[in-house]
Structures are given as structure tokens and as C-alpha cells.
Amino acid sequence: MTSTVRADVVVVGGGPAGAATAWALARNGVDVLVLDRAHVPRPTACADYVSPQATRLLSAMGALEAIEGAGAAPVTGMTIHSPSGGRVHGRFALRAVTAGVRTDGLALQRERLDPILLDRARAAGARVRTGVDVGDLVRDATGRVIGVRVHDTDGAKHREAQSLRTIEARIVVGADGRDSVVAQHLGISPRAPHGAHGAHGAHARRIAFVAHQRGVKAMGASRELYCFADGYCELINVGEGITSITIVAPAALALRGSADPEGFVARWFATHPQVGSRCDVSGAGSIGRVAGPFAACGAHARRAWAPGAALVGDAADSSAPVIGAGIYAALRGGEILGPYLFEALRAQSPARADHALEAYERSRAHEFAARWRVERLIGAALSAPALMDRLARSLEQRHDLADLLVGAFDGFVPARALLRLGVIRQLFAPPVGGGGSHDD
């Protein structure tokens, strides 16, 4: 038995990208239906970090006060520990390029963040349905997407007994993450850059393990990134004495550990005492999801639209964990997409609607292209221990450049500022003296 539901726009995925897109549309009177296969809140493989740039968008959505009230911890900068023991500390303090944006980020577990964002979408008028799995796209005779076919996930073991539902929509938005079903059915899933499938270097495949622990020693208000020859690890205080721990290891080493994430994390602590000595090595605490494999340099869709459909967030462009701007990119992507969807809905013909979605693609590329190049540089550096050691030595006395690097790392400083050739040369130049000091 089948039943049909209708909406102007169906947004598949209720994370930050989906919630931001739905909010932007619903507040302008568009009939939006958000679908998510999980029941929110749900565990998510995420570093739980909201960069300073994202706070502007959260404030616009009316979510910032609720996020702060939920116990979000402030994040004032980042400390990078190089493989040989060097230490670089950068602060979010470049006020000249951050007018109107707060100079600290926030960290909050996604189990708390996502419901707040979905509540803002609901308050704007969006409908939200969780526990609904999208199995396929519906197309018309020309191949244009005109809806989705869904079933309830609660009865997944007895799918044959379920009633299949068709949800008709003028536009379908894929905001369903790194393994987007919508992107797969459109045939435009994000791909790593050419050659990014090797076993070594910047293009090696990685797997991330996310744990949450209480009582991690000496946690302050900065993100901490430890770089090793066999991967890297980030620690971040997410409030109420809990630390989010993201371990990223080469897929060749970590694939077997994905079947026993608790055991893998405990063993990793034992072999990396710089981190393990600060943590409870007897157990990993709560393990979120295991993410990957993914390319260290990120992955991007060759285009983020098709007739009747668009992609946003990780469904279109996924960053490697600890890059720092994932939630910001998801929120900003929804902010960019909203007006183009509104224009497509008002179009008098399918061709004009497609022109609006093509314009979204151009706007998305203009916004994020420099950021993608920075991610490739960061992926290369994180995959080269000698390069990270040289960077640490260069920045030990250049705190102004450390602030710039950390700001670009987080999307806090415009990526183009880091991509200037003179800046890159300075980042890896031998230290020549003082460059200002930080009051730690």
C-alpha cells in the first residue's frame, strides 16, 4: 500500500545543513518538510566544534542563546603539537578581519546542538519527521527529480510489511551527510581530488574514531591538535567536564579497529602517551561513530545540483575531521542555498528553475573554492610529520603567523589570506626572532 505526501521542498537530513536550509526557506513562507532516518538526538562522528564564523549564522537563526544555555564551552584558539614535541599556539584575535563576528568559538556535543537547530527550523514553520529513511528518488518522464520514496526505519527488519510512501516535492535537497543517499542516486557524490586514493601522504584514506571522556587532564579553552607519524588527534572541551577526542588514523591501520572502536581507542592511548597520559586509558568512554574511510584532503561534488535537486553540507563537500569549519560550512551552505531555492520555486519553467540552481553552484564555488585549497594544504601538512615539525619551528616566535594559521584552519580568517605566496613562505621559513608574544 502506498500513500502520498506533498511539500514544496523536501530536505533529506536534519543536521546543521538541513536545519539551516529549512529555516531559511520556512521563514519566507515555503512549505518545507525535513526528513531524517535517525531519531534526533543521535550520536554523530563530529568534533562538536562551532567555529567563530558560525556564531553569526547561529545568532541569525535565533539559536545562539539556546546553544550557550545548553552548556557550550568557549573556544579561544588552537594549540598544535608537532611530532617532535614542538608547540604552536594561535588565538582567535585577528580583529581586523573579523568585524562583527565574535572572536571565540563554541563546542557542544551534536546530541545537544542538532535538536536546537531543528527546533529553530520548526519555529520558522518547517515540518520535521525523524525515523524516516529515503530509499529512492522519484523522477518524471524527463528524469527530473519530483520527490522521494520513504519508509519508517523503526520497521527496517520487516520492510516488506511496511507501507511505502511517496513524498512529492518541487525540489529535493540532499543534506544527508558524507554518505548522502540523495547524492548517490543523482550520481554526483563528492569525490576526492584526482589521485586521492593512495595509501600514503595527503591523499591517503583515513578513518576517524570519536570518543567522549570525563576528567581529561589540563584541558583549557583551546582546541588541541596532536600530530604523529601515524595520524593525528584532536582534544576539545565540550562543556560539563567532557572532552571530545577525535583520533584520525590511516585506513590501512584502522580498518580492523572499526569493528571494535573501544578497543582501538584504548590501544591507541597506550601507544601515544602524549595523549594517553591525559586520558583514562582503562576505557575510551562513550564512543560516537566511526567515520570513513575518507581522503585526508576532503572530497567535493563535481556539481551540487541536478534538475529538481540540490546538495548542501557534507553531501556536497566533506572536510576531513579536525579541519574545524565543518559546521560553519554546513550552516553557510544552507544560507547560500536558500535564496536560490526560493528563486527556483518562483520560476515559470523547469529551465528557469535549473538556471537558479546553476547560479547556486557558482555562488557555492565562489564562497568555498579558496577554502578547499586550504584544506588540501592542511591535509598535506598533517600527512607529513617533517613538514609539521618545520612549521612548528617556524612559528615558535611568530605568534602573528600562528594566529593567521589557526584562523584559516578554522575558517575564521578568509582562506585567501593564507594562500598568498609570501605568507606561505613565511610559514615555513626558519625562525629569525620574535614576532610578538601571547599571554598564556
Angle between helices 350-382 and 399-409 (to 10 degrees): 140
The span from the CA of 263 to the CA of 261, in Å, is 5
Region for residue 432 given its phi and psi (left: phi exceeds 0; alpha: psi -120 to 50; beta: otherwise): alpha
CATH fold for the domain made of 2-74+108-191+300-376:
FAD/NAD(P)-binding domain (3.50.50)
Residue 98: the pLDDT is 47
Task: With cut-offs at 50, 70 and 90, classify the pLDDT of residue 302.
Answer: confident
Instruction: Using alpha carbons, list the distances in angstroms from residue 257 to 38, 58, 184, 236, 249.
Output: 24, 36, 27, 23, 10
Rounded average pLDDT over 326-355: 96
Convert the pLDDT of each residue in 15-40 to its tens digit. 999 999 999 999 999 999 999 998 88
Residue 344: the pLDDT is 98
Task: Look at 29-43, 106-120, 339-353 and tell me which has the smallest mean pLDDT.
Answer: 29-43
> Helices marked H in 62-180 — which ranges?
64-69, 110-124
CATH of 201-295, one of 3.30.420.40, 3.50.50.60, 3.40.50.300, 3.30.9.100: 3.30.9.100
Beta pairing class for 231-237 and 242-250: antiparallel
> Helices marked H in 310-413 — which ranges?
326-346, 350-382, 385-395, 399-409
The span from the CA of 65 to the CA of 253, in Å, is 42
- The highest-confidence range among 111-125, 271-285, 317-331, by mean pLDDT, is 111-125
Task: With cut-offs at 50, 70 and 90, classify the pLDDT of residue 379.
Answer: confident
Residue 197: the pLDDT is 43
Helix (H) or strand (E) holding 214: strand 205-214
CA neighbor of 310 nearest in space, from 291, 277, 327, 334: 334
165, β-bridge pairs: 3, 150
Residue 286: the pLDDT is 66
pLDDT at 348 over 90: yes
Instruction: Using alpha carbons, list the distances in angstroms from residue 280 to 73, 108, 273.
Output: 21, 21, 11
Residue 75: the pLDDT is 93
CA neighbor of 305 nearest in space, from 357, 344, 340, 351: 357
Query: Which is more confidently placed, 182 or 255?
Result: 182
The upper half-sphere exposure of residue 88, i.e. CA atoms within 13 Å in the direction of its Cβ, equals: 30
Convert the pLDDT of each residue in 63-94 to its tens digit. 999 999 999 999 998 999 999 998 988 888 65
Share of the chain above pLDDT 70, in %: 83
Asked if 345 and 171 touch (Cβ cutoff 8 Å), the reply is yes
Convert the pLDDT of each residue in 198-234 to its tens digit. 444 444 678 888 888 898 999 999 999 999 998 899 9
| Mean pLDDT, all residues of the chain | 84
Convert the pLDDT of each residue in 157-166 to its tens digit. 444 434 568 9
Rounded average pLDDT over 47-60: 88
133, β-bridge pairs: 151
The span from the CA of 229 to the CA of 84, in Å, is 10
Rounded average pLDDT over 239-263: 83
Share of the chain above pLDDT 90, in %: 48
Identity of residue 72: A
The span from the CA of 365 to the CA of 369, in Å, is 5
Name the residue ranges covered by the structural domains of the chain.
2-74+108-191+300-376, 201-295
Region for residue 165 given its phi and psi (left: phi exceeds 0; alpha: psi -120 to 50; beta: otherwise): beta
Asked if 4 and 166 touch (Cβ cutoff 8 Å), the reply is yes
